[in-house]
A and B are shown apart, each in its own frame.
Chain A
Amino acid sequence: MVLVTVRLPPGATLADAMERLGLSEEDVDTGYGLVLIDPDQGLYGLRVTEEAGHRTGPPFSDPRIEPYGPG
């Protein structure tokens, strides 16, 4: 899975984002949903399959993160 971003009006829903990007439920991590990244820019993020990410792109990486300890 990868992250993609989309600009939408305030109060947008995942359905709005999917419609704007032309995505189906199979393309999207619906459990993750639509996340507001920057309200000032109206920028939202969602998690999609790699194929959908390349289609709607640009896809952003969703790397693993790990604790920095114990040292």
Chain B
Amino acid sequence: MRVLIQLRPSPDLVAAVADPGRSATTADVADGLPGVTLDPSFTPVAVPRPVPSPGGDPLSLNQPLDFSLAAEDASVLVRGEISDDEPATRVALLPTLRPDVVGVFADPVIESNLTCGGDAPVGDWHDVERLLGTSALRAEGLDGSGVALAVLDTGINAAHVARHLGRGVNLDAERSWNPAGVAGRPGEFEVDHGTMCAFDTLIAAPQASLIDIPVLLSSRTGGSALDGLLSDAVAAFAHLRTVLEAQPAESRSLVISNSWGSFSPRWDFPPGHPGNYSDNAAHPFNLVVASLDRAGADVLFAAGNCGRECKDGRCAYPDRPIGGANSHPRVLSIGGVDTEGERVGYSSQGPGRLTARKPDLCAYTHFSGSKAFGEGEPDSGTSAACPVAAGLVAAIRTQWPAARLSPSQLRSLLRRTADDRSDVGYDFDYGYGVVDPAGVIAALRRRAKRVA
């Protein structure tokens, strides 16, 4: 996290900072604060000391005050960044290690122009193709050929996807699956959220074979239109286990894209209850996710649309909205950036509920793509970012089945090669950064040489 650090250096340094005719740099004032990456581009700022009237309370700011910039009174602010992993520890330890540190304060982003729900598209899917370097992926033979890519959502309308992509779509009807009670044929569902997700997977992996699983069309007691129940997702994952195990071990590849989650703790048992889902790795769905990972599947989940700046109206977790499988240690949890690389304001921030370091990565969203919601409406939400990332994973799997690169190794590779959006590694806005296919290709080339 970005921080402002208040220091009280020697009076001559304070005087140099306070004097507009002189110059003092961050290095002059605070070189080498342990655990802090200082921003040398920030010119230190002198902070006046509040001085109560004679006889006033020296500890209160709620009284008439004067402010002194005298060298013996004033302090100095510098700017830096500390790891999101340890803000509390670092803030507590800094003053003990460096007595000149008198305070550490948050330095929040104050821009107000983040993309939010309802905003117009930022770029289109050809921009996403360019950002994903799809021509370079194809030059490496990474186009999703032979890779099974399951979209668990509201069902796919393959004709709509093909029309808007301007190319054919491989729909694997045989391995598609409906929850009990859901009518409809694979690839022939109404154009909706699932069609958007399918379109977005094919940006990076145009030759992948789509497995259509309309898990959000549950008709069970407790569900409603365009909602599902987690039990249907348990059954869907059990089906996908059979799909995976039917593949030859040496060429197994199955990518599972999930742009859904549970918005409200009211729908769950309370945290601490042994049957709770959102905070409990022992819930059957979280177990089946771990089981699929162990069997060789790549599982991706959207991080959710509960970002602080413009959260979805359904968000009901007061904090830590990335819960359940969306924060599972064996999945890639995907946040969203627009095509200019800025986090969209609704993309959920970590820490996650099952695993603190969530989201893992960001991928592109809020672009003009599938037109599933009408002309001029973007493919949006972390719902779009997740399948964009799933398409990249499917592209990689073309040449790198799970036997060559395990799901765990692939997650590490994506995290390690991500375009870090902070100065000190992981952060709860972007995770390890934005997916970087060029970095992935370079790393895979090195790996291929090593194992040759």
Contacts and interface: CB of A to CB of B under 8 A. Distances in A.
Contact of B231 (A47, A58, A69): A47
B277 A64 contact: no
Interface string B83-119: 0000000000000000000000000000000001100
A68 B302 contact: yes
A25 interface: no
B384 interface: yes
Interface string A58-71: 11111111111111
Given A37-B288, A68-B382, A70-B377, A63 B277 contact: yes
Interface string B374-416: 0001111111101000000000000000000000000000000
Interface string A24-51: 0000010111011111100101010000
Contacts of B278: 63
A61 B283 contact: yes
B378 to A, nearest CB: 7
B230 A65 contact: yes
A3 interface: yes
Interface in B232-255: 233-235, 238, 241
A17 interface: no
Contact of A62 (B222, B263, B288): B222
A44 to B, nearest CB: 9
Contact of B261 (A43, A53, A68): A68
A67 B154 contact: yes
A71 B231 contact: no
A64 B234 contact: no
A14 interface: no
Contact of A61 (B153, B216, B269, B373): B269
B291 A64 contact: no
Contact of B220 (A29, A38, A43, A70): A29
Contacts of B308: none
Contacts of B365: 71
B95 to A, nearest CB: 41
Nearest to B365: A71
B146 to A, nearest CB: 25
A43 B285 CA distance: 12
B228 interface: yes
Q: Specify which of A2, A36, A39, A67 lies most central, judged by the most chain B CB atoms within 10 Å of its CB.
A: A67
Nearest to A62: B231
Contact of B180 (A31, A37, A61, A70): A31
Contacts of A61: 230, 267-269, 273, 275-277, 283
A47 B276 CA distance: 15
Given A64-B222, A68-B383, A69-B259, A59 B275 contact: yes
A1 interface: yes
Q: Give the interface size class of chain A.
A: 20 to 34
A43 B290 CA distance: 13
A32 B291 contact: no
A67 B226 contact: yes
A18 to B, nearest CB: 17
Given A47-B231, A64-B262, A67-B216, A37 B238 contact: yes
Contact of A66 (B314, B380, B384, B386): B314
B275 A67 contact: no
Contacts of A31: 180-181, 220
B274 to A, nearest CB: 4
B41 interface: no
Nearest to B270: A61
Given A37-B291, A40-B291, A69-B381, A63 B230 contact: yes
B194 to A, nearest CB: 8
A1 B222 CA distance: 8
A63 B305 contact: no
Contacts of A29: 220
B283 A71 contact: no
Nearest to A29: B220
A61 B347 CA distance: 26
22 contacts: A1-B221, A31-B180, A33-B180, A35-B234, A37-B287, A40-B294, A57-B275, A58-B275, A60-B283, A61-B277, A63-B268, A64-B229, A67-B193, A67-B383, A68-B302, A68-B304, A69-B381, A69-B382, A69-B384, A70-B193, A70-B377, A71-B117
Given A33-B180, A43-B284, A61-B268, 14 more contacts: A2-B275, A3-B231, A29-B220, A31-B181, A35-B235, A37-B288, A43-B287, A57-B275, A61-B269, A66-B263, A68-B261, A68-B386, A70-B193, A71-B312
5 tightest Cβ-Cβ pairs between the two chains A and B:
A69-B381, A69-B383, A71-B381, A63-B267, A71-B380
